Structure 1
Amino acid sequence: MPIRPLTPEALAAEIVAAVERAGPGHVRVLVDGAPPARPEVLADALVDPLRVRSRPVVRVSAWDFLRPASVRLERGRTDPDSFYDDWLDGGALVREVLAPLGHGGTGQVLPRLWDVEVDRAARAQRVTVAPSGVVVVDGPLLLGRGLPAELAVHLALSETVLQRRTPADEAWTLPAYARYADEVDPESVADLVVRADHPDRPALQTA
């Protein structure tokens, strides 16, 4: 597929334009990528350009919707299948963040559910999202879970780059990303695919 190199700023502008095309009402955006792809950086970069267009933004991290340690680590702290299957509380993410912005939803979202550091519920307050508001969720392994969204962006890394940039103490997660590529094929599921091997020189993959 054709690849179009962009600056990080131009990439953010392309995604903001895609949000605008998604409609004037609530838009749910997933920014999917392994930590070395820095999905949180791209997600943060969307906030100001959207607000300039009178689109209020609520930022949500999937890392704040993990299951309790008793569930998450039941098979050990370094089990890649557990990381893939059990860490993210996808049901809670839908219930508290994504479904409220869908048809007939309340428009009220809970931006944080679980404080992983202390392993207890976060004391977050619900936020009312304006009718033109956007929620941007970043995190790994988000696609293929049935998470409702108007726009899904996948930050793709080559296998070599993913291995090189993953810290040694997190290398146990690599089989989970290999499984993700094989079972979900996020590049075929996402609405936009960004080649992210070079963080300062991203490229948008176009059909």
Structure 2
Amino acid sequence: MKIGVLALQGDFREHKQMLQSLGVEAPEVRKQEQLEGLSGLIVPGGESTTIGKLAREYGLEQAVRERVEQGSLAVWGTCAGAIWLAKEIIGYPEQPRAGLLDIAIRRNAFGRQVDSFEEPLEIQGFATPFPAVFIRAPVIERVGPGVEVLAREGNRVVLVRSGKLMASSFHPELTGDSRLHRLFVEMARG
């Protein structure tokens, strides 16, 4: 099984290392032809506007959209990647994005870089809390029909899933806990 990591900008290396630790081949994706043969794609944290602009410029936005609509590609967006997946970015209607996941998301909802924190999260299906790292994190303010909420930080939605799509406000790749990456591998396999 191969799960690609969008490597246009952001912390793609950490996702790649986490996938490799699970025995999954994890090529870096920068061009649309590199999507061939992938079961899944992780869109990492970073700068959401930059990721969106580059994905559009390199034809990846449309290529990912087509593969998701065909059911051949699972996609997980973390932090900026979650913003890229969202149908609506509150306050930024013109920002380039794939718009595949029926959520409305607010950028930097947890504050600035200096407001970063780690918190144990209760995640649906996990026996013990997950060490979630929040860095300039977005918050999911609306979920559409068919979107399942898997975790909240207080009353704020921070992890959702819909079919073969998943979005997290936080950075699971910055922890030693591979459970969310394992969950995504299973989603991509299924």
TM-score by length of structure 1 reads 0.30
- By relative contact order (CA 8 Å, sep 6+), the higher-ranking structure is 1
TM-score by length of structure 2 reads 0.31
Which structure carries more helix by proportion?
A: 1
Which structure carries more strand by proportion?
A: 2
